[in-house]
A = this chain, B = another copy of it.
Amino acid sequence: MAKEKKTTGQKAGVSKKRLTVHDVAQHAGVSTGTVSRVINEVPGVGADVARRVRAAIDDLGWLPNIAAQNIRASTSRMIGFIFSDIRNPLYATMTKGAEGVFGPRGYLLVSSSSDGRMEREVDLIDLFRRRRADGLILTIADEDNQEVRSAIARSGISFVMLERALDGEATSISADHYGGTRQAVEHLKEMGHRRIAMITGGRGTLVMRERLRALEDAMAAGKLDPDPDLLRLDSFDAEYGYQQVQMLMGKKDPPTAILCLGVRLLPGVVSGLQNMGKTFPGDVSLICSNDTETASILTPPITAIRYDAQLLGKMAAAVLLEQIDQKNSKPEVKKFEIPTELVLRESVRRI
Contact = CB atoms under 8 A, between A and B. Distances in A.
Contacts of A183: none
Nearest to A264: B293
A310 to B, nearest CB: 9
A238 to B, nearest CB: 7
A228 B86 CA distance: 38
Given A238-B293, A297-B274, A86 B76 contact: no
Nearest to A16: B156
Contacts of A76: 67
Interface residues of A, number: 48
A314 B18 CA distance: 29
A297 B113 contact: no
A95 interface: yes
A323 to B, nearest CB: 15
A129 interface: yes
Interface string A11-38: 0000010100000000000000000000
A63 B126 contact: yes
A130 B297 contact: no
A64 interface: yes
A140 interface: no
Contact of A18 (B74, B93, B293): B74
Contact of A96 (B68, B70, B87, B110): B87
B67 A71 contact: yes
Contacts of A74: 18
B298 A298 contact: yes
Given A18-B74, A96-B113, 15 more contacts: A61-B154, A63-B129, A64-B130, A68-B71, A86-B92, A86-B96, A87-B93, A99-B112, A108-B127, A109-B110, A238-B293, A267-B294, A267-B297, A274-B297, A298-B298
